[in-house]
Chain A
């Protein structure tokens, strides 16, 4: 190897090392190492009140297999993992289509419906709000007696009896669906903007050609827009799947997993096991749950990415 080449190689690696040093160090110290410690604690009976603990082997993991609440939480997490992407993506696609190409087509070409720029701004609102705010607002609206806004409105129009107010988030049958609705309420605006961005990048003449061929709007959507948006939809799907598996903030703030664990998800279950102060020695167990959740999430993410990648190849 000649000296100039060696020197070039050396500068290259020096550059790589220099650029990676700080990010990797910070990431390693404040992210990887705590997570690694979490994995370690999953084999202990640590209660996180003192610095003492014993190693208990796989006891925590064996307990996990028999924990009924954890199973319930697992089922609920799966529910959100499956439903949140479907509903949000469908809604966001519909909005994006209406706001970008859903308008009347005429000589000026294809455009969004009337007022679409205003809608685009408004629909994004919920996404920028703190979960604390979202929880306060919806918690007050879904109050379970006649003073709750939703109940008051339904009673005023005669849909609900004064003495039988709806329980909303306190009813095991409705709580999951309402949480899903609130999550969709929060996220769809963001994905609408994301899909809008992708749609505006589709050349106008494709639509115009479709219009000339007499395609109506649903045909435009399913034959032109959707195939061209495949990549974006896939990414959004993966991202929403992860959000659906998490759901921590919303459940934590709105229901705490209740009533009677009807809305318990894995994330809230872990948090309550670790920090709920009712029994000692639970932190190690919570860590085991966390490791299980992390492995599960990782597996699903890999599966999703695989599917997405395969589709992309076929598409190309």
Chain B
């Protein structure tokens, strides 16, 4: 797209107040090029996903011998096999419990901490703030084994509340970092006005500041949902049956990876694709349904 820059100069002087402006040739070339590129990228994004969904309806020999063919018949049994073999329904439920609890607590505690750190001056403020922010830069798995012992010490292995608390701890850095800058930009005058009106700190936060921060909360919340939904390492370590008699509370990502790992030992590619489709579709549907909110949330987040 840089190639057309010099050619554009003569046009600078051309009087163009009249509309519509006649499209110049370089513009058209650019148009064709960029449209082509956008289309190509759209294909690059959708095709692999579509292809995987299509594979879910085929038999293993079909997949192996002709990777880009279409199904000869819709083999729904791949889905029932994936569903039965891997308990995807149970995993789904576990995931919903953990993620809803985790995101709710993360947002509540994260906004509380971010608010206090952003709007109040007190000794230790910066230490706590940078303590949270430093958490953004270190890889999770480093803390894995010590973390296992910490959680075990509280007798919270293979429990929903244990995993939720860990999710909260690991989501706080991002949440505090993001909301901190958000709260800083909210006008001071409103909080002062509230104080004059006799509202306490707590009431000011919950009744005035939180509602004002809604767009920011929404976008951070979306990220936390995505992050916690796709989290794998933490549940893999902390959500393991502690004996064979312990209930299996695995989350979806664990189930998917287990399904993938089974491929190393069993040859059932179609069930793998079926399981993947089962896991992928709900989140795609949720995204398409809420994509306006996601984009709006991101917009407001960048509109500091």
Contact = CB atoms under 8 A, between A and B. Distances in A.
Do A and B interact with each other, yes or no? yes
B65 interface: yes
B26 A216 contact: yes
A257 interface: no
A185 B43 CA distance: 12
A125 interface: yes
A113 B289 CA distance: 23
A91 B60 CA distance: 37
A215 B11 CA distance: 8
Contact of B150 (A12, A29, A132, A135): A29
A8 B170 CA distance: 34
A102 interface: yes
Interface in B78-131: 109-110, 112-113, 115-117, 120, 122, 128, 131
Interface string A153-197: 100000000000000000000000000000001000100011011
B132 interface: yes
Nearest to A103: B31
Interface string A99-140: 100101111000001100001111111111111110111101
B146 A41 contact: yes
B185 interface: no
B193 to A, nearest CB: 17
B42 interface: yes
B16 A201 contact: no
Interface string A274-294: 100000000100010010011
B239 interface: no
Given A33-B146, A35-B138, A131-B230, A23 B302 contact: no
Contacts of B48: 137-138, 141
B64 A147 contact: yes
Give chain B's interface secondary structure class: helix
Interface in B1-56: 1-2, 4-5, 8, 11-14, 16-17, 19-21, 23-24, 26-27, 30-31, 34-35, 37-38, 41-42, 44-46, 48-49, 51-52, 55
Interface string B51-81: 1100100000000110110000000000000
Contacts of A37: 143, 146, 149
A96 to B, nearest CB: 11
Interface in B249-304: 252-253, 256-257, 260, 269, 272-273, 276, 279-280, 283-284, 287-288, 291, 294-295, 298-304
B213 interface: no
A11 B109 contact: no
Contacts of B291: 120-121, 124
A128 B134 CA distance: 25
A270 interface: yes
Contacts of A128: 226, 283-284, 287
A68 to B, nearest CB: 22
Contacts of B205: 19
B272 A136 contact: yes
A45 interface: no
A43 interface: no
Contacts of A200: 299
Given A27-B172, A106-B20, A219 B5 contact: yes
Nearest to B230: A130
A161 B48 CA distance: 23
B260 A23 contact: no
B131 A32 contact: yes
A4 to B, nearest CB: 13
Q: Which of A106, A132, A140 has the most CB of B within 10 A?
A: A132
Contact of A197 (B26, B34, B301): B301
Nearest to B46: A122
16 contacts: A19-B205, A37-B143, A98-B34, A119-B42, A122-B45, A124-B294, A133-B280, A141-B51, A196-B299, A197-B300, A211-B21, A214-B16, A216-B5, A219-B5, A219-B8, A270-B142
Of all A-B residue pairs in the complex, the 7 with the closest CB atoms, nearest first, are A34-B143, A30-B169, A197-B299, A37-B146, A34-B146, A290-B142, A23-B113
Given A31-B169, A143-B67, A293-B139, 14 more contacts: A20-B113, A20-B128, A30-B169, A37-B149, A119-B38, A120-B295, A125-B46, A128-B226, A128-B284, A136-B276, A147-B64, A200-B299, A271-B141, A298-B137
